[in-house]
């Protein structure tokens, strides 16, 4: 069901999903793959995202992109999607930052 080039931690995550959760995750990943600038970087970021109880993978990507813990000069989100996701998630991002302070 998963490609051979998918990292093992993603495969382990998917193996524990039931059919409904698998379908949900698949839809989440389809959006993530479309908006990402770099697929390898997306899989790198997934190491941390999959350890959390996330509800919206695109928001998690936006959050990670904004806090940029790796100090990456590259954005995780393609330029053509960045403004749309910023508009959609900026308020939630600011609320999440205030909770963690």
In degrees and rounded to multiples of 5, residue 36 shows phi and psi of: -80, 145
* pLDDT score, position 87: 94
Q: Where are the domains of the chain?
A: 8-99
* pLDDT score, position 101: 57
Residue 95 predicted with pLDDT over 80: yes
DSSP secondary structure letter of residue 55: S
Q: How far apart are CA 32 and CA 29, in angstroms?
A: 5
* pLDDT score, position 24: 93
Q: What angle do CA 75, 98, 100 make, to 5 degrees?
A: 80
User: Tens digit of pLDDT for each residue in 34-85?
Assistant: 999 888 888 888 988 888 888 899 999 999 888 887 777 788 899 999 999 9
């Amino acid at each position: 069901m998963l490609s051979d080039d998918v990292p093992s931690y993603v495969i382990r995550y998917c193996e524990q999903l039931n059919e409904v959760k698998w379908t949900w995750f698949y839809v989440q990943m389809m959006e993530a793959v479309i908006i990402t600038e770099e697929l390898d970087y997306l899989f790198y970021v997934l190491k941390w995202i999959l350890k959390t109880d996330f509800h919206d993978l695109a928001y998690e990507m936006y959050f990670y992109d904004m806090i940029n813990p790796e100090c990456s000069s590259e954005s995780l989100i393609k330029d053509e999607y960045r403004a749309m996701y910023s508009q959609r998630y900026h308020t939630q991002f600011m609320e999440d930052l205030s909770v963690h302070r």
